Chain A
């Protein structure tokens, strides 16, 4: 269990993370999404104890993380911009991590390196960007830690590798109840692997919810009514995020279960209506739009 309570972090006058509280359950995949500069990486770096929060505290299994080796042994952090020792080879890396992580599985490391077709004796600085990411993932899996933090790790991998890494994650989760925190912009992909999603914007957390609850609690309706009708009235009491009208076709985004929304629509006797759940990408867009992060402002 990872618990962050009211953590904030400033860099000079910039508020990177502002009063964020989340708790992450064991055996889950926590997806961290957010607008650019929302504070995702800063948040993860605080979880790892790389940065010390200005306010609030973070506990991993009940232990403070900052400068606490016992807590740090519990997780592996794959950073966004990875650092490797100069002139090091994957073999050196293995020997280094063996010292740091007590349960480091050297055999697993060797087999994974073979499966991913990476040369253990080649210098890491001759590896491509994607290969470096692969190497970090292999280290992370072999370290056998309870938690693994990935900062945009999947984004640098090709589609085949992404599938492979996701399968490996699935196995680790089922076998030893591994918990992962994944920050990514690839929402389509997070949808496959996350149990829980936290959405950050400008340092604050907009929502943190079970993925299925989230998908089932917001819907998009397309409908055409017989005559002019006050659409807001139909949805009175429900939280309507957006109403868009093209000719007689309304596109409405509202919070509520499919049944709730369908019954409202049916009551107004539409000519045509369709209630659809939103994809994670659409949820992201509509939730950030509500707080003023509007795509139209960017393109018009």
Chain B
């Protein structure tokens, strides 16, 4: 479920937190499912349990998960976070469109590409 990219220069806890965010936002991990325990994940990945704990603390701070005393960590309901992520992506698209315009890509070309990607996604389903 969690893969660490050793060529990635970012700290490992950031990678782990980001991977969980992705899984949560994509809906792979549904609200109220339990996350693997710190120990089992640390043993799976052969890394320091303190690192996993740090990733979980970060996720909890951002509101992706909640912890229950003595039971472990669980996925939090995430409508708001999903909305945030959508906003973020739309902002990137806006920025890209602006850059595209500056460099001389026409509106039709841009929209054509966007359409293509959306249709590609659909045929995957």
Contacts and interface: CB of A to CB of B under 8 A. Distances in A.
Interface of A: 27-29, 162-164, 166-167, 170-171, 173-175, 188, 191-195, 211-212, 215-216, 276-279
Interface range on chain B (Cβ under 8 Å from partner)? 10 to 19
A193 B47 contact: yes
Contacts of B12: 191-192
Nearest to B49: A174
A108 B118 CA distance: 56
A212 B9 contact: no
A174 B39 CA distance: 6
A174 B38 contact: yes
Of A163, A166, A188, most buried by chain B (CB within 10 Å of CB) is: A166
Contacts of A28: 50
B11 A173 contact: no
A188 B6 contact: yes
A223 B69 CA distance: 48
Majority secondary structure of chain A interface residues (helix, strand, loop or mixed): helix
B10 interface: yes
B42 A174 contact: yes
Contacts of B49: 170, 173-174
Contact of A215 (B11, B47, B54): B11
Nearest to A219: B9
B9 A170 contact: no
Given A195-B50, A195-B51, A279-B9, 8 more contacts: A167-B46, A170-B39, A170-B42, A174-B38, A174-B39, A195-B48, A276-B9, A278-B9
A171 B45 CA distance: 11
Interface string B7-21: 001111100000000
12 contacts: A167-B43, A170-B42, A170-B43, A170-B47, A173-B48, A174-B39, A191-B12, A192-B4, A192-B51, A195-B51, A212-B11, A276-B9
Contact of A192 (B38, B43, B46): B46
B9 A216 contact: no
Contacts of A215: 11
A171 B48 contact: no
A193 B48 contact: yes
A94 B13 CA distance: 38
B50 A166 contact: no
A192 B12 CA distance: 7
A277 B11 contact: yes
A177 B44 CA distance: 18
A10 B82 CA distance: 61
Contacts of B11: 211-212, 215-216, 277
Nearest to A196: B50
Given A170-B39, A171-B39, A277 B47 contact: no
Contacts of A188: 6
